[in-house]
Each structure stands twice: as C-alpha cells, then as structure tokens.
C-alpha cells in the first residue's frame, strides 16, 4: 500500500497543493497523514510517527518534497535506513529512493543536506528580522488568536478527556502546541480571578 505524508510549519499555511500531489500519486485520502505547525527539525510529530508506524514491508511512503519529511540530514538518513531494513520504499516528489543504487543514495543525501541548510537560512533570516526594532514592536503587541471562551472550552475538553489534543487542534484549526497554550492561559485566568476574590 502507498501512504502519503505532508507538513506545514505554521497553522496559516495551506496543505492543499501537497494533498493534490499525494492524490495524483494515487494515495487515497484515508492513507494521507499531515502535521500542522511543526518544524521539520523535530521528528516527534503525530502525523509523521503515525505514517512511519503504519507502513509495513512492501508498502511505500510518499512525500511531496524532501524538506516536508525532515530538515535534518542525519535524522533523514537514519529514518530511511530504518524504512529500508523494514522493506518500506520511500518516494520524494517523483523520485523513488533506491538504497541499492549509489547515485540514488548520493542524490538523496544531497537533498537532505540542502533541506537542512534551508532550515538554517530561514532561522538566520528570522533572527535578522527580529533584530529590527520595527519587527519587535509589531510582535510585542500580538494577541492570542483564540478568545477566552475558546481557551476555556479547550481546557475543559482536555480536562474531561473528551478529545485528544490532536482532535482539539483540528476542531479549532490550531497546532497541538497551541492547544496546551490555550489551556494554560485559561488556568492562569481562573487562578488570577480566584486570587482577586480571596483578597476582596
């Protein structure tokens, strides 16, 4: 069976083009896995770990681009060695990785190194932008995208185990990290109100 994986590093980015690519490659929607709001540097992503665990001998994992899989060359090569040992094929873009072909291995290693370098360049550009006073001033005034009522609802869902963090993230169109931040904000608000009530 073919499995597909795609990733966007921010919640606001669109997965549509990556979905279209996986569908065009013959991957059915139920075997397409995604991660929203995760950096390629971190392999601890729900969608990625799910597709890696789901694939069995004779299956193939397809990603639209190498940097969607990972942005760390060492991690990429280690994961692909594991897939090869399990008999799972790997396709990036239109290219199917052949571990027995030295040129294929060289090409993949080259692309993995470029993906890692691109991640570093993005980080440097971000640091340079943050060094500008005008950019820092804009970010300083940013407010959470969720309302206090939404924070309260998320905290309640987590506390009552009604849904998983991933399901809540999908419901509110946010990342898993944002789910926990929203719950923390709600707990702080409740704590502040109780503190004020105790001193009045």
What is the SS3 assignment for 122? helix
Active site residues: 9
The three-state DSSP-derived secondary structure of 35-71 is: EECCCCCCCCCHHHHHHHHHCCCCCEEEECCHHHHCC
The dihedral of CA 181, 117, 52, 172: what is its sign?
Answer: positive
Q: Quote the CA–CA distance of 155 and 181 in Å, as a whole number.
A: 10
- Closest to 97 measured CA to CA, from 56, 66, 53, 74: 66
CA distances from 150 to 57, 171, 174, 186, 200 (A): 43, 11, 12, 9, 28
Q: Are 102 and 79 in contact (CB under 8 A)?
A: no
Q: Do 73 and 112 form a contact (C-beta atoms < 8 A)?
A: yes
């Amino acid at each position: 069976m073919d499995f597909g994986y795609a990733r966007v590093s921010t919640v606001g980015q669109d997965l549509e083009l990556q979905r279209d690519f996986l569908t065009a490659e013959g991957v059915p929607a139920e075997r397409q896995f995604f991660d929203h709001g995760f950096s390629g540097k971190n392999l601890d992503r729900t969608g990625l770990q799910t597709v890696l665990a789901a694939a069995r001998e004779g299956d193939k994992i397809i990603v639209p681009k190498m940097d969607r899989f990972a942005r760390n060359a060492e991690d990429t090569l280690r994961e692909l060695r594991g897939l090869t040992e399990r008999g799972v094929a790997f396709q990036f873009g239109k290219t199917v990785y052949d571990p027995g072909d030295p040129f294929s291995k060289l090409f993949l290693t080259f692309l993995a190194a470029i993906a890692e370098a691109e991640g570093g360049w993005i980080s440097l550009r971000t640091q340079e932008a943050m060094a500008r006073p005008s950019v820092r001033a804009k970010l300083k005034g940013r407010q959470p995208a969720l309302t206090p009522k939404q924070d309260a609802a998320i905290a309640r869902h987590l506390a009552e185990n009604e849904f998983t963090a991933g399901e809540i993230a999908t419901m509110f169109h946010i990342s898993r990290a944002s789910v926990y931040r929203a719950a923390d904000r709600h707990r702080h608000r409740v704590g502040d109100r109780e503190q004020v009530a105790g001193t009045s």
